[in-house]
Amino acid sequence: MKYGLFMPNFGPFGDVDALVEMATAAEAHGWDGFFLWDHIVLDGEQAPMADPWVALTAITAATSRLRVGTMVTPVARRRPWKLARETASLDTFSKGRLVLGVGLGVPADTEFGTFGEELDDRRRANMLDEGLEVLDGLWTGESYSFEGEHYSVREARFDRPFQRPRVPIWCAGWWPNKRPFRRAARWDGVIPEMVGGDTPEPRHVREIRAYIDEHRGSDAPFDIAIDGYTDEPDPARTEEYEAAGTTWWLERFAPDRLFDFDAAIGRIKAGTHGRVVAGGNQNQKGSR
């Protein structure tokens, strides 16, 4: 099992310099990944707020080993061809270290409604599915066309990302809602949380793994990334998660806990130590 950091892009973490300092500390202290939330407004009270793509570019320039990415990007608020350019460029610049986490985006009333964008969950889910298809087509490096309800592409040819066959796509979902997990089964990984935002227990991870296997038409590697908090070392708990099928543990930093730069740096420098103690999240990030 690999270990990553799961960082907001606002408040005390809404500064690119601070995020770069935390990422370089993470690489120096044995972490495997550094993943940023992708909010643009949230609730209007979380200033300052850093653009995650600018921050990730700076982070990849300052590191050499860390996996990086967004957890998660609401594809419905993006032009998928613009996202294809950005991700291919960043993946090439980082020599293949990018992961793209995707979801619907919440809270919809601020993240979308502030700008007069789509609020309906079903329509945004359809936009997400179409957007992923466009991304995958543009990443092939071949001439690509697409005609859907929301997006249209006519004979566009883009540069390929560094990774083959593509940048890994991890889909967010609230278990036991099923549609996000059927979507995830078509791609490369899932970032699950329970309805309400709590961290899945190992038994839930087994259920998710079984459901993914049932709907997945490929034996290619598939990641299950669980986010939560760790307290005291608990190797037995870690083994439970790993045995259940967890491939990544993402240490969470959020307004309800460790929402302070000094506390975050201290936790990062403490390293992973194989410690996992899941706790309730009351998740604000969204994009499930």
Tokens of 127: 């936009």
Q: Could you report the per-residue pLDDT of 114-143, keeping only the tens digit for each?
A: 999 999 999 999 999 999 999 999 999 999
Instruction: Look at residue 274 in the predicted model and tell me its pLDDT.
Output: 55
Instruction: Look at residue 283 in the predicted model and tell me its pLDDT.
Output: 42
Contact in structure between 209 and 246 (CB atoms under 8 Å): no
At 58 the three-state DSSP class reads helix
**Looking at this protein, which amino acid is placed at residue 24?**
T
Tokens of 152: 């249209």
User: How big is the CA angle at 286 (ends 190 and 81), to the nearest 5 degrees?
Assistant: 75
Contact in structure between 87 and 169 (CB atoms under 8 Å): no
CA dihedral in degrees (95, 129, 205, 234; nearest 10)?
40
Query: What phi and psi values does residue 75 have, to the nearest 5 degrees?
Result: -65, -30
Q: What is the DSSP letter of 69?
A: E
- Distance between CA atoms of residues 224 and 246, nearest Å: 5
Which residue ranges of the chain lie beneath pLDDT 70?
Answer: 44-46, 273-288
Tokens of 233: 């070392």
Distances in Å between the Cα of 260 and the Cα atoms of 27, 141, 220, 264 are 20, 42, 39, 6
- Distance between CA atoms of residues 97 and 67, nearest Å: 5
Domains of the chain, first to last: 2-269 (3.20.20.30)
